[in-house]
Amino acid sequence: MSATPGRVRPRRIRTTSAMRRLVAETRLHPAQLVLPVFVREGLTEPRPITSMPGVLQHTRESLRRAVAEAAEAGLGGVMLFAIPEVRDAVGSQATAPEGILNLAIADAVAEAGDALVVQADLCLDEFTDHGHCGVLTPTGAVDNDATLVRYAQMALAQAEAGAHLVGLSGMMDGQTAVVRDALDEAGHTDVAVLAYAAKYASAFYGPFREAVESQLEGDRRTYQMDPANRREAAREVAIDIAEGADVVMVKPAMSYLDVLADVAARSTVPVAAYQVSGEYAMLEAAAANGWIERRRAILESVLSIRRAGADHVLTYYATELAGWLAEETR
């Protein structure tokens, strides 16, 4: 068979762009992209985030415009993060009906209606003065079960504000079950739960800490996963699905494509992946220096995350990327 040189020519299916398009195994579509957005209480003008060029801390007004653009671009959804003016030990503003995140959820729903899945980050780190994702014990450890009580309250506040989906990013044990029960008991049976099932304690969240003005000292290694572990992701995902997760996520994305492929192979629910702030910052820094071709590198990075098994991708490039996809299909 292989004795005839050139009989088997894989290059044949790469000859023209029409041929390549025909045989492409993976495609990107705007509906598979979710835009994370930041809104900061008390801003009069949107404020740039230095380590994420092109990404802003929004005012409530500019957030509405970003949400409208996301809907116009045909994105799958937006994921809302908010920075309150006042922080305390238990993250009171996370559950206050007039808290900035809950107001922003209502704004986004008012702007987009059902055209987007309006998603909210369900975690305490933006709201606590110590910057941890939960409440602390008197000795300063993150108190899992006391945190679950706060998460349940937060889920209700977000559902009341109109969130279509709550994104559990705190990595507390039992969080999916507790939030699902709280939502159901309050009649919010249609509000979906996204479990950040496999969320790693990653250095790639660096720029996000600037974006949310994090006051964290230390790290999150007692609750987020060890980057060394692959098998453990399967365990986390199985637990979250058993507890009622509607979607599971792997985060970060680019350094965890093996984990993503594993999860995609096992999951019975849709799988999301989060191209996080540090991934964005690396691409932007290299592109700004002329070291990589910006547009091609961005497209390749998100395509690769899809190829590894993500059904949809959270990326700060979502709106821009959707614009490129529209150009390509024109």
Chain residues that interact with ligand PBG, rule: CB under 6 A? 121, 123, 125, 169, 205, 208, 220, 276-277
Is the CB of 96 or the CB of 115 nearer to ligand PBG? 96
Cβ contacts of residue 311 below 8 Å, gap of 6+?
32, 264, 270, 271, 272
Query: Shortest distance, CB of residue 4 to ligand PBG, whole angstroms?
Result: 52
Is the CB of 241 or the CB of 253 nearer to ligand PBG? 253
DSSP of 227-249: TT-SHHHHHHHHHHHHTT-SEEE
Other CB atoms within 10 Å distance of the CB of residue 227: 16
Give the relative orientation of helices 100-112 and 144-161 as an angle to the nearest 10 degrees.
40
Q: Which is the catalytic residue, given 87, 130, 251, 306?
A: 251
For residue 318, indicate whether it is catalytic. no
Residue appearing with tokens 């691409």: 283
Rounded to whole angstroms, how far apart are CA atoms 124 and 245? 19
Is the CB of 28 or the CB of 253 nearer to ligand PBG? 253
Cβ contacts of residue 326 below 8 Å, gap of 6+?
30, 73, 74
Query: Shortest distance, CB of residue 208 to ligand PBG, whole angstroms?
Result: 3
Is the CB of 95 or the CB of 169 nearer to ligand PBG? 169
For residue 312, indicate whether it is catalytic. no
Query: Shortest distance, CB of residue 107 to ligand PBG, whole angstroms?
Result: 20
294: phi then psi, degrees, rounded to nearest 5: -55, -55
Q: Which is the catalytic residue, given 130, 150, 164, 199?
A: 199
Query: Shortest distance, CB of residue 142 to ligand PBG, whole angstroms?
Result: 12
Other CB atoms within 10 Å distance of the CB of residue 42: 10
Known catalytic residues?
199, 251
